[in-house]
Structure 1
Amino acid sequence: MHKEDRLPQSPKEGIIFALIISIISVNTIAPIIMGMELGFSKENYLETLKVIPIMWVIVMILVRFVAGPLVGKVLPKFAGKTDGFNARILLNTLLNVTVLSILLTIIGTWVGTKQISLEPFQNFFHSWFRNFGVAFWIELLIAQPIARFVMKKLHSKEASRTKAVNL
């Protein structure tokens, strides 16, 4: 999958890809989960907006230092050598969302309530299944496809430029 034009092929593209996914994810998943938890209202949405920058930083740290390395080790154990791009992306998304939703069900509650408590552990399974479902479908249907589309367009432009220079 290294030369797949729908995926980043350099560190700079990796940062762009991660920014697209994380910004979309944090700005959609957090408000939906908060709305489901506290009710959908303008006041709850505005409260969510106050937490989003903090959550975005936490998500980026968790992706880089926890989910990424963990999924990188587990993915090869489940992905077959003949699995196609879509199968690998689906498995990668499933594993990343699983790890992140487990951690963020706990950490997100602490950040949202501005206190460390046992509450996220007491309500873990109810909250985690809901959070996982919201995050998985947002990632699968919105964030990941948009990021891959941007990568494909970026690589297409680069190929056009290279072709024009070589003519």
Structure 2
Amino acid sequence: MSDNPFHTHLPRNPKEFVAFMLVIAVISVNTIPVVIGGLTAGFTVAMWTDLLRVMPVLLVTVVAVVLLTMKPAHMLTARLVRPGDSFRAHMILNALCSVLLISLVMTVVGTWIGTQRVSTEPLEQFAHLWPRNCTIAFLVEALLAQPVARQVMRRHHQRVDARAAVTAA
């Protein structure tokens, strides 16, 4: 057990990390592209069904990009927070750093996946697209995906810790 009172809110081992990341990725991939696609092409059933077709590819891509940007995001976060900063400060800044890096990649790659064609359009429109996409992604991550994933971890750890306490008694 850790001295950190929020130890129950974060994954403790690789198996829990995978579950934590999948909760965040599933929420994000089912929310962020829908909002971005709706703002780009209009909120229609056709837009939503087109997105449903590419969701599996988006999910795999997002997980890969998260894994590739995780270490740089942690390094950037470590430069911004101090040991005495609150858990929430660490989580918000980590979400911001992660989203910043992930959104740089996904603004281009996500557009290619969503339109099902590789073009220079997302590169040409990057300065217009990226701030909006980054803001939407950050809001979804900070207000929905990560809090839900931390709550899932907290409830899981409450059950695990209760079983361990009964076994130890």
Structures share a fold, TM > 0.5?
yes
Q: CA offset at residue 118 of structure 1?
A: 1.3
2: distance between equivalents of 1:33 and 1:136? 13
The corresponding residue for 1:161 is 163
Q: Deviations over 1:40-61 (max 9, x none)?
A: 0001100011111101111111
SS of residue in 2 equivalent to 1:5 = helix
- Is the 8 Å Cα contact of residues 6 and 148 (structure 1) preserved in structure 2? yes
SS of residue in 2 equivalent to 1:81 = coil
Q: CA offset at residue 70 of structure 1?
A: 1.0
Q: CA offset at residue 31 of structure 1?
A: 1.0
Stretches (4+) displaced over 2 A? none
Unaligned runs of 5+ in 2: none
| Corresponding residue to 1:22 among 25, 28, 42 | 25
The corresponding residue for 1:88 is 90
TM-score, normalised via structure 1 length: 0.95
Q: 1:160 to 1:40 in 2, by over 3 A?
A: same
Q: CA offset at residue 154 of structure 1?
A: 0.7
The corresponding residue for 2:143 is 141
- Is the 8 Å Cα contact of residues 7 and 152 (structure 1) preserved in structure 2? yes
- Is the 8 Å Cα contact of residues 63 and 100 (structure 1) preserved in structure 2? yes
1: distance between equivalents of 2:41 and 2:67? 30
- Is the 8 Å Cα contact of residues 23 and 56 (structure 1) preserved in structure 2? yes
Q: Deviations over 1:81-102 (max 9, x none)?
A: 2111100000000000111111
* Within-5 A mapping of 1:50-65: 50-65=53-68
SS of residue in 1 equivalent to 2:9 = coil
Q: CA offset at residue 131 of structure 1?
A: 0.7
Name the Cα RMSD after superposition: 1.4
